[in-house]
Amino acid sequence: MLLTAQTIADCLNGDIEGDSGIVVSSVINIEQGKKETLCFLANPKYEKYLYTTQASIVLVDRDFVLKHPVNCTLIRVDNAYESMSVMLGLFDTTDTLNRKGREYPSRVSWRAKIGKKVYIGAFTYISRKAIVSDNVKLFPNVYIGEGVSIGENTIIYSDVKIYPGCSIGANCIIHSGCIIGSDGFGFAPSADGIYKKIPQTGNVIIEDNVEIGANTTVDRATMSSTIICKGSKLDNLIQIAHNVEIGENTIIAAHSGIAGSTKVGSHCVLAGRTGLTGHLTIGNNAIIGAEALITNNVKEGKSMLGIPAMEAGKFRRSNVLFRNLPEISKNITELLKQYKNKMGEAI
């Protein structure tokens, strides 16, 4: 596909600085830019590449100020990062969204309901009473349990397993290796010291427009539902325990874990390797920094860092002291030595 700068600017409602007729055929990182490619600049760390890139067109924010002349054509947009995602969609040459029909061998229960333009990959198993809505894509080796419902336009990649009774909304993306609805980690100690399994009788509800990364697990509730609300995005290798609730448009990065019955609000950000203990409430718009361990409730809008976590400002001040501990210890030792000497002289 060839697109001119003018076509791209019209699509993004952008303003052109340079040659409106220049064409691009693909998108690429700005540091690897070459002729007939489109790049973007959103992170100041990469600004230096703007002045050396061989890319034909670069998307920048409207308020970006050039420090040096550039050889490329600029298109100024409201949000370069967001605009690049639009461009990536235009240049996507994969047939993921166009697949339909059924590959064999695959097994679909005669009691399942299958919508129009559904793609069912080889070795996929769809159980009885399952509902697969229009335009759903089920890639090879997917398991859909009894009574599972899947909303329109959802994409489920290879090797995903969705246990019985779970619900997946519309326009979701679930990447390879995900397990949705496995038993929660519930065991009760008996008098003889043996742990007895607590039946996990609930399900998982994933609302519309949710994306879940590869090898992430979402456990079914002991009772009621584990819920991931609409618009939330989960990275790879995340553990969501039983009865957890994730609010709308919340972002969770890789290697994070949330223990049972914790409720995370809307528009929260959980950075990589964060851990949340059970039965907590995390307020809306909270930000949990990388590797933080949350052991208490977090109020709305708070930023947290550390193990165990504390408010970000307090953590940074404490960290300054921590880094200086060797010098502080040395000074204290010297003061004690001087004090003892003086006391000795006084005696």
The residues carrying an active-site annotation are 242
Q: Can you give the three-state secondary structure of 220-271, one letter per residue?
A: CCCCCEEEECCCCEECCCCEECCCCEECCCCEECCCCEECCCCEECCCCEEC
Amino acid making up residue 126: I
Rounded distance, CA 180 to CA 109, Å? Answer: 20
Angstrom distances, CA of residue 34 to CA of 56, 68, 74, 83, 86: 7, 19, 14, 20, 20
Angle at 225 between CA 224 and CA 231, to 5 degrees: 155
Take residue 95 and report the two structure tokens written for it.
């047939």
Q: Which residues touch 99 (CB under 8 Å, ≥6 apart)?
A: 119, 137
Q: Are 59 and 40 in contact, with CB atoms under 8 Å apart?
A: yes
Contacts 24+ apart (CB under 8 A), 60-69: 62/15
CB 169 within 8 A of CB 207: yes
Residue 81: enclosing H or E segment and its boundaries?
helix 80-91
Phi, psi (rounded to 5 degrees) for 288: -110, 115
